[in-house]
Amino acid sequence: MIEQVAFLFDMDGTIADTMPFHLQAWMDLLGELGVRTSPQEFLRMTSGKMNHQILNEVLGMSLCDAELARFEARKESRFRELCRPHLRPIAGLADFLAESRRSNVAMAVATAAGKENRALVLEGLGLQRTSVSWSGPKTSGTGSQTPRFSSRLPAGFRSIHLAAWSLKTPFRESRPRTAPA
């Protein structure tokens, strides 16, 4: 089996600093709904949670699926409106990707972001042809946006060694996962 190297990137906050635009979109939506909270308090309450969890918890009521979808669509539309004119890759990303391509390193983007947000960021950064995306279940329960690998490794991979980092968190590495013999 050929040993291959691959990089797996998160999208929001890793390849582009989109988080300020997500925060502003939330603040705008909550303001329209009459909910007053500071950005710091909002981040403290919602860090790592998915939209449906945030809406139910911050609004303090259980919303039906149609209401959740409507509010989520408004928030994400506002995010794209705010982000589009300011979208830039994080410093050093272009050089890192170019060197990785020269070294024949496979690369993918792993994200729980919706289709329209993936398109905005990946196309806006010119990555749509070299990236694949991953989308987790809408109701994972944990809010975690970390892909979970099955017990089978992708074809051609003997092991997977994950490294995770973002603009806001320190570098973390996993231990290599080796395919069963």
Based on the domain organization, do 48 and 111 belong to the same domain? no
| Domain span at 74 | 19-86
The pLDDT confidence band at residue 159, using thresholds 50, 70 and 90, is: low
Rounded Cα distance, 172 and 166, in Å: 10
Based on the domain organization, do 69 and 98 belong to the same domain? no
Cα–Cα distance list, 92 to 14, 88, 105, 164 (Å):
11, 11, 17, 16
Based on the domain organization, do 10 and 98 belong to the same domain? yes
Secondary structure class of 118 (helix, strand, coil): helix
**Nearest CA among 74, 67, 78 for reference residue 25:** 78
pLDDT tens digits for range 4-39? 677 778 888 888 889 999 999 999 999 999 999 999
Based on the domain organization, do 94 and 72 belong to the same domain? no
pLDDT of residue 74: 96
Based on the domain organization, do 103 and 58 belong to the same domain? no
Based on the domain organization, do 110 and 66 belong to the same domain? no
Model-level pTM? 0.73
State how many domains the chain has: 2
* Residue 1 belongs to some domain of the structure: no
pLDDT of residue 97: 84
pLDDT tens digits for range 59-118? 887 889 999 999 999 999 999 999 999 999 888 888 888 888 888 887 878 788 888 998
Backbone φ and ψ for 122, nearest 5 degrees, come out as -65, -45
Rounded Cα distance, 56 and 50, in Å: 10
